[in-house]
Structure 1
Amino acid sequence: MSVTAHPAGAGIRSWLDEAGERLRIRAERVPLDALADWETDEDSGAVRHRSGRFFSVEGLDVRLPRHPVSHWQQPIIRQPETGVLGILVKRFGGVPHCLMQLKPEPGNWGGLQISPTVQATRSNYTGVHGGTRVPYLDHFLNAAARHRVVTDVHQSEHGSWFLRKRNRNMVVEVTEDVEAVPGFRWLPLAGLRQLLHVDDLVNMDTRSVLSCLPRRATGGTPAHPTADVLAWIERGRDDSGMTVERRPLGRLAGWRRDAGRITHESGRFFDVIGVRVEAAGREVGRWDQPMIAPHGVGVVAFLTARVDGVPHVLTQLRAEPGCADRAELAPTVQCTPGNYDALPAAARPAFLDDVLDADPRSIRFDTVLSDEGGRFHHSRSRHLVVELDEGAERPRRPGYRWLTLDQLHGLLRHGGRVNMQTRSLLACLSALTPATDTTAW
């Protein structure tokens, strides 16, 4: 069996063009009431699949004391099962390569995106949809007995749109030959990271898994000892006062079901829409589903600075209604700016203007990347890393802490402490490592 590795940058366009001839997807908007195999519960108004599997769209009532918006109601996706996000790694000539696939998702901006070796919900990989088997799945389900498990940790999904959803993030290193079937390629890890500079090319699940890779410690003394950071997280979770209760989807304050979708009366935030999907090269060729369609492009950003010569990033402890542990570490900025246009100035996210108005010379990373395309329709966020000038005063604010990358990656190893947007930005920070550094995870 021949196994071929490919340079990550070279040939990406031809790979996309070749895959585009076999892997096609078309998502047509249809009214929620017209979705095949989906139904609306008469009592709760929840939108559910008739099988009782996959996921449902339900309603929440959220109270968050001392927050600029202390009470709201919203739809949310409930998917009480854990999926597998896994990347196979193999060394060619001592250089780590990742087996990646080009995957079309109904919500993807631009169609095909680079996805993990395995990206599957439990309903998918147990065959509820009646489709073909997920390639390479056995390498992860039976990993410990056959291969070296580099990382295996349960991580949260978007806490604003998923209710207590987690996925198993895995990297498994193989030594035997593993052939790349059509649609898959072995890409050098360092080159894959460089592709994060390309808008909407490396998908969210890939970024999440890449962030979980172990990394070489940079050393140095952090601004806050890790024990203090852990105590701060637990104290903040207890003090958040957030309460989340289920509410009938059809009776949420400020939301209405109109023209076949669920929308907020302000025209902001997001819609719940229906899509009819036709796909070539997927496990299933046709299906219907609801999706969340946000309004506007989000912003996720890190402010970075050196503290006694040690690189730090400014993180916030952010409570979100879908977070299983109430609050996790989020980036310096995490928002969709347009959602705040009608709110008082005091409600505008801290540091948003600092990153949007940053001197271009201080911007180390600036790329628009897509969110999860299986449940979110054309959801994108501008990823920014802004470095403060040497000697500039580091901003301080309640609910925020300056942490080293070593600390963040240490917290990542245990799951449930670092949110999806922070993990996405951590992957982007790895793209700032020169592509010639082929030995580092």
Structure 2
Amino acid sequence: MPPHALPLDALAAAQSPGVGRRFTVSASATDSPVTPNAEFDAWFARQRRTNRFDVTRIPFADLVGWRFREGDGNLVHESGKFFSVTGLEVSTDWQERGSWSQPILDQPEIGILGIVVKEFDGVLHCLMQAKMEPGNPETVQLSPTVQATRSNYTGVHGGRRTTYLEYFTSPDRALLVDSLQSEQGAWFLRKRNRNMIVEITDDVPPHDDFRWLTIGQIHRVLGRDNIVNMDTRSILSCVPFEAPDGPARRETDPAFREALVRSLSGEHGALHSTGRLLAWLTDLKARHTFTRRTLPLAKLDGWSRTDEEIAHDEGKHFKVIAADVRADTREVTRWTQPLIMPVERGVAAFLARPIDGVLHLLVHGKAEAGSLDMCELAPTVQCLPVNFQDLPAHRRPRYLDVVRDAGRDALRFDAVLSEEGGRFHHADNRYRIIDVGEEFPADDDQDYHWMTVHQLMTLVQHSRYLNVQARSLLASLHTTW
């Protein structure tokens, strides 16, 4: 009998009470009588039908509460809160990148990304929200209990109070996960959010936009395009799962799953010790030059501003646009704001292979313009291909052809997942985990190292290690047990 067919109390009774084991038990429950899958599917479809919103591109002149500030031309909010669009100049010798300038979002606030969990019949369930964001490709997505900037949850927008916020601000909260994590370093300047999981025992006032789901139920839909939002993926990547000891939850390659479970456990060999990997990352930061300074938005080279957008002169990277948003279910029902809109869909992928029977992922030490500490651990490939199409082969991302040409039999995960919809318009990546097999070279170089899943799970408990795309893929990998 597969694990999801067991009663929830039977699943719980079979496992030890450690936090990691409790999370693994929840991930093993791919259905639940609290919110059965059929009920969830109907509820979520209804949320997408009824909680529609209208996002319309507008000229910058029609923004309300936003203006291009005299002097530097930065796009700012009249309250001095939320975020601003400023200019940034970067100079580095990393991969011969040289110097460039770009617009970037400056949002120094640390927001809250939080999931409330509660046991039902001994199995942890997550209180998940069907939430719209103006930039979401598919309107409503499955979101954490709370995702809010400090400006939002302190009421700068003058709208309704953030639902269930008190569970994350109470001094008596029971924290199971608590970690500061970065956001997109290519588009945000030193941005971080607090990723939290809080356990409660009391009853929660019901709300039609929220449902209780096991982690296994979330995993069930994470592999579908644009269902589970980026903030949920980020939080789930921080969960300290123990290795599963039951049967597979879905049809998968048995050899891959066995290598994955061994990699999760941390009880088998790794190509490199975690200490050596940390030394490698430190060496990357120390060996390269990386300087940046903010510039007036009005004085950026290579970027042009019209009445409706700020765009790169070669049509690469992204645009800054303005949008009018109407949404009845949000704390504020109508507002305007700037958004970043990438010029095409990106690619984010891990190459994976067993080494001595233990799955390893090829991790890239990647520098990005807005990273807090120069570089973080990134997927093997993370890029917008259009940015490199006119460059010589040695300047293009390594392994991009391997990722794009991967056959279906090598794909262990493959879905289009969107990035944060509150700041980015229709920004999504094709996320892939590709089993390249034992014939693929297991060599490292100065920018790439092979790491086990357990090593990544250990590092993600702390700040400044895994970037947001790597965290999305780590959360996605957990769906393949």
TM-score in terms of structure 2 length: 0.87
* Partner residue, 1:436: none
* Partner residue, 1:187: 213
Is the contact between residue 352 and residue 437 of structure 2 (CA under 8 Å) also seen in structure 1? no
Which secondary structure does the structure 2 equivalent of 1:11 belong to?
helix
Which residue among 208, 220, 233 is the counterpart of 1:207?
A: 233
- Shift of the alpha carbon at 1:394? 2.1
Amino acid at match of 1:80: P
- Shift of the alpha carbon at 1:383? 0.4
Amino acid at match of 2:206: A
Amino acid at match of 1:367: A
Quick one: distance in 2 between partners of 1:38 and 1:180? 36
* Partner residue, 2:35: 6
Amino acid at match of 2:336: D
* Partner residue, 1:150: 176
Which secondary structure does the structure 2 equivalent of 1:361 belong to?
helix
Q: Structure 1: which 5+ residue stretches go unaligned?
A: 434-441
* Partner residue, 1:71: 99
Quick one: distance in 2 between partners of 1:203 and 1:269? 22
* Partner residue, 1:263: 311
Is the contact between residue 94 and residue 367 of structure 2 (CA under 8 Å) also seen in structure 1? no
* Partner residue, 1:380: 428
Quick one: distance in 2 between partners of 1:120 and 1:4? 30
1:167 aligns to 2:193 (yes or no):
yes
Quick one: distance in 1 between partners of 2:106 and 2:167? 28
1:128 aligns to 2:156 (yes or no):
yes
Is the contact between residue 4 and residue 186 of structure 1 (CA under 8 Å) also seen in structure 2? no
Which secondary structure does the structure 1 equivalent of 2:458 belong to?
helix
Is the contact between residue 22 and residue 280 of structure 1 (CA under 8 Å) also seen in structure 2? no
- Shift of the alpha carbon at 1:196? 0.8
1:176 aligns to 2:202 (yes or no):
yes
Quick one: distance in 2 between partners of 1:183 and 1:37? 29
Q: Within 5 Å, give how 1:220-299 maps onto structure 2.
A: 220-299=268-347
1:396 aligns to 2:444 (yes or no):
yes
Which structure is higher in helix share? Answer: 2
- Shift of the alpha carbon at 1:69? 2.8
- Using the TM superposition, name which of 384-393 and 106-115 deviates more: 384-393
Which residue among 14, 21, 28 is the counterpart of 2:56?
A: 28
Which secondary structure does the structure 2 equivalent of 1:15 belong to?
helix
- Using the TM superposition, name which of 358-367 and 392-401 deviates more: 392-401
Is the contact between residue 355 and residue 438 of structure 2 (CA under 8 Å) also seen in structure 1? no
Q: Within 5 Å, give how 1:91-130 maps onto structure 2.
A: 91-130=119-158
Quick one: distance in 2 between partners of 1:251 and 1:392? 47
Amino acid at match of 1:227: G
Which secondary structure does the structure 1 equivalent of 2:53 belong to?
strand
Give CA deviations for 1:77-96 in whole Å, capped at 9, x if unaligned. Answer: 00010000001111212222
- Shift of the alpha carbon at 1:359? 2.6
Quick one: distance in 1 between partners of 2:114 and 2:90? 33
Pairs aligned (count): 428
Which secondary structure does the structure 2 equivalent of 1:431 belong to?
helix
Give CA deviations for 1:267-308 in whole Å, capped at 9, x if unaligned. Answer: 111100000111111100111100000011100000111111
- Shift of the alpha carbon at 1:395? 4.5
Identity rate, percent: 46
Amino acid at match of 1:258: T
Is the contact between residue 99 and residue 180 of structure 1 (CA under 8 Å) also seen in structure 2? no
1:137 aligns to 2:165 (yes or no):
yes
- Shift of the alpha carbon at 1:260? 1.9
Is the contact between residue 5 and residue 188 of structure 1 (CA under 8 Å) also seen in structure 2? no
Is the contact between residue 317 and residue 399 of structure 1 (CA under 8 Å) also seen in structure 2? yes
Quick one: distance in 1 between partners of 2:283 and 2:79? 41
Quick one: distance in 1 between partners of 2:441 and 2:367? 27
TM-score in terms of structure 1 length: 0.94
1:336 aligns to 2:384 (yes or no):
yes
- Shift of the alpha carbon at 1:342? 1.8
Give CA deviations for 1:38-71 in whole Å, capped at 9, x if unaligned. Answer: 0111211100000100000000011111424311
Quick one: distance in 2 between partners of 1:76 and 1:272? 9
Q: Structure 2: which 5+ residue stretches go unaligned?
A: 1-31, 243-263
Which secondary structure does the structure 2 equivalent of 1:80 belong to?
coil
Change in Cα spacing, 1:256 to 1:319, as seen in structure 2 (3 Å) is same
* Partner residue, 1:86: 114
Give CA deviations for 1:140-193 in whole Å, capped at 9, x if unaligned. Answer: 111x514x3111010000000000000000011112222331100001111101
Amino acid at match of 2:111: G
Give CA deviations for 1:111-142 in whole Å, capped at 9, x if unaligned. Answer: 00000000000000000000111111111111
Amino acid at match of 2:361: V
Is the contact between residue 66 and residue 77 of structure 2 (CA under 8 Å) also seen in structure 1? yes
Quick one: distance in 1 between partners of 2:61 and 2:185? 27
Quick one: distance in 2 between partners of 1:4 and 1:279? 32
Give CA deviations for 1:313-350 in whole Å, capped at 9, x if unaligned. Answer: 01011111111111100010000111111222221100
Change in Cα spacing, 1:164 to 1:38, as seen in structure 2 (3 Å) is same
- Shift of the alpha carbon at 1:11? 3.0
Quick one: distance in 2 between partners of 1:71 and 1:413? 33
- Shift of the alpha carbon at 1:17? 3.4
Is the contact between residue 61 and residue 307 of structure 2 (CA under 8 Å) also seen in structure 1? no
Q: Please list every run of at least 4 consecutive aligned residues from structure 1 whose deviation after the TM superposition is greater than 3 angstroms.
A: none
Change in Cα spacing, 1:231 to 1:397, as seen in structure 2 (3 Å) is closer
